[in-house]
Amino acid sequence: RAKVLGKGRYEIYDPVMHELAVGRLSLESRLRQALHEEEFVLHYQPIVSLEDGAIVGVEALVRWRRSESELVYPDQFIAVAEETGIIVFLGIWVLREACRTMVRWQQEFPRDPALTVAVNVSARQFAQHDFVEQVARVLAETGIRPDTVKLEITESVSMMDTEYTVEVLTQLQRLGVCVSIDDFGTGYSSLAYLHSFPMDTLKIDRSFVAQLDRGEQGRQIVGTIMNLARDLRIRVIAEGAETSRHVEELKTLGCDFAQGYYFSRPVEPAVISGLLAARPAAGSAQGPLDREAG
């Protein structure tokens, strides 16, 4: 069925497309409502030192508690939140909530160095003209030590407009917060640019860690990233460490930190408190942290 729109213009009425458009619209308004009614929650995934198995920090990962029985994962709503600009408000909420919670953990579980919190920043958020001021405001409001906050940006963000990116990263560094490149190796990054970015940490994407199961070629890829990082004096966190074999290989390759289901899935804050209480700061035996929680 075609609908006449005007002189010579037709739009094909497609019930599937119509469904999609309506679905998207209602998702957008539901997301706005969810923000107002505080239906978003944060789960946290431990980041572990491969040297001694101690938790050195956590990554905050947002979920939408749509109803009592429904927990919606970010792959279901981050893209729409990004397209509609809702991510700007959601992102600031995530940062504030994560910093507040981390301040409590730092007080309850003093560590040297102090526990860190990683927060994901979307491209749209990073591009806000007042992004740095927004971060500064949250730091002031929550009183968190800036050097215990790690903002995770993806390569696609960091490579978009190099000059602007370097400028923002420099200002963030001046605030004292750390910057990590997330999902490293999956974007269109030019390795040559990396050295000109003021950043502290690379997170090796879990697709590369998965390659470790394939033997020598997988090891070479991760090894190459490790060498690059060492030359640039950047810390490395491996994502998606799922098995003891991954952990052993990563250690052999000189990786210092990892995050993944082997240690713990992302869990509710109360579970993190339990893990931090159960595990002394250093020298603790290494192994899965949340066997019963995962």
Q: Tell me the C-alpha distance between 54 and 278, whole Å.
A: 11
Shortest Å, Cβ 97 to Mg ion: 16
Residues in the interface with Mg ion (CB under 5 A) total 6
Residue 122's binding partner among ligand C2E, Mg ion, none (Cβ under 5 to 8 angstroms by kind) is ligand C2E
Q: Taking the CA atoms of the chain, what radius of gyration do you get in angstroms?
A: 21
Site residues for Mg ion, 188-227, by CB under 5 A, read 205
State which residue, 21 or 160, has the beta carbon closest to Mg ion. 160
Q: Which residues bind ligand C2E (CB under 6 A)?
A: 45, 61-62, 73-75, 78, 87, 91, 94, 120, 122, 152, 182-183, 206, 239-242, 259-261, 266
Q: Which of 7, 34, 28 is nearest to 85 (CA)?
A: 28
Shortest Å, Cβ 60 to ligand C2E: 6
Token look-up 């469904």 returns 19
Q: Which stretch binds Mg ion (CB under 5 A): 73-81, 96-104, 216-224, 238-246?
A: 238-246
State which residue, 81 or 253, has the beta carbon closest to ligand C2E. 81
Residue 164's binding partner among Mg ion, ligand C2E, none (Cβ under 5 to 8 angstroms by kind) is none
Q: Which of 210, 258, 256, 207 is nearest to 233 (CA)?
A: 256
Contact map string, positions 148 to 167, toward Mg ion, x by CB under 5 A = ----x---------------
Cα dist from 135 to 93, 138, 145, 148, whole Å: 11, 5, 12, 13
State which residue, 185 or 269, has the beta carbon closest to Mg ion. 185
Please answer whether residues 210 and 185 qualify as being in contact, where contact means their C-beta atoms are separated by less than 8 angstroms. no
- Residue 97 within binding range of Mg ion, rule CB under 5 A: no
Q: Tell me the C-alpha distance between 84 and 69, whole Å.
A: 26
- Residue 249 within binding range of Mg ion, rule CB under 5 A: no
Q: Is 31 exposed, middle or buried (0-12, 13-18, 19+ CB in 10 A)?
A: buried
Q: Which stretch binds Mg ion (CB under 5 A): 105-113, 167-175, 239-247, 278-286?
A: 239-247
Q: Is 18 exposed, middle or buried (0-12, 13-18, 19+ CB in 10 A)?
A: exposed
Shortest Å, Cβ 239 to Mg ion: 5
**Backbone phi, psi, residue 205, to 5°:** -60, 150
- Residue 120 within binding range of Mg ion, rule CB under 5 A: yes
Query: Can you give the binding site for Mg ion, defined by CB under 5 A?
Result: 120, 152, 182-183, 205, 239
